[in-house]
């Protein structure tokens, strides 16, 4: 049986493939919400399990607090995907992802910025620990 890390790694290839498919059809220049809708539709077409806009509470002294955090797309309860449509990915985007990974106790996250000419230039893979 494969480990969660191995499964997450395999899922990341499917996630990136789905994102490339979306980018090749609609290109850069749209709002993040449009990319999220198209990306989720592509995951659905590929049979990849996901949850969109998953709430992410902060646990403080044993109490779960809803602070308004939401994961853009949580794939198979293993990989966090944060979608962006920005000029360039900034350190704050990486910090956000690492925080989400820690709060959710997951290993792998993908930052995907659709506002680039070639999507591979907009993909950043981050790991927790």
**pLDDT per residue over 48-82, tens digit each?**
999 999 999 998 999 989 988 999 999 999 999 99
User: For position 43, what pLDDT does the model report?
Assistant: 98
What gap in Å lies between CA 67 and CA 12, rounded to an integer?
28
Query: How far apart are the C-alpha atoms of 47 and 110, rounded to whole Å?
Result: 19
For the beta carbon of residue 105, count every other beta carbon within 10 angstroms.
7
Assess contact for 16 and 110: CB atoms under 8 A: yes
Residue 81's closest CA among 101, 109, 102?
109
Cα–Cα distances (Å) from 47 to 39, 76, 112, in that order, read: 12, 11, 20
Tell me the average pLDDT of the chain: 95
pTM of the model: 0.94
Q: What is the pLDDT of residue 68?
A: 87
So what's the pLDDT on residue 116? 97
Q: Is 37 helix (H, G, I), strand (E, B) or coil?
A: helix
pLDDT at residue 107, as a whole number: 96
């Amino acid at each position: 049986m494969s480990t969660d890390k191995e499964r997450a790694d395999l899922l990341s290839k499917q996630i990136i493939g789905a994102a490339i498919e979306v980018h090749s059809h609609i290109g850069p220049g749209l709002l993040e919400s449009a990319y999220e809708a198209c990306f989720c539709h592509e995951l659905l077409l590929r049979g990849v399990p996901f949850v969109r806009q998953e709430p992410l509470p902060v646990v403080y002294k044993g109490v779960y607090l809803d602070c308004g955090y939401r994961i853009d797309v949580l794939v198979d309860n293993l990989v966090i995907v944060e979608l962006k449509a920005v000029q360039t990915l900034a350190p704050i985007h990486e910090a956000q992802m690492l925080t989400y990974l820690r709060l959710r106790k997951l290993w792998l996250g993908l930052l995907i910025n659709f506002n680039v000419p070639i999507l591979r230039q907009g993909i950043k893979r981050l790991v927790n620990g």
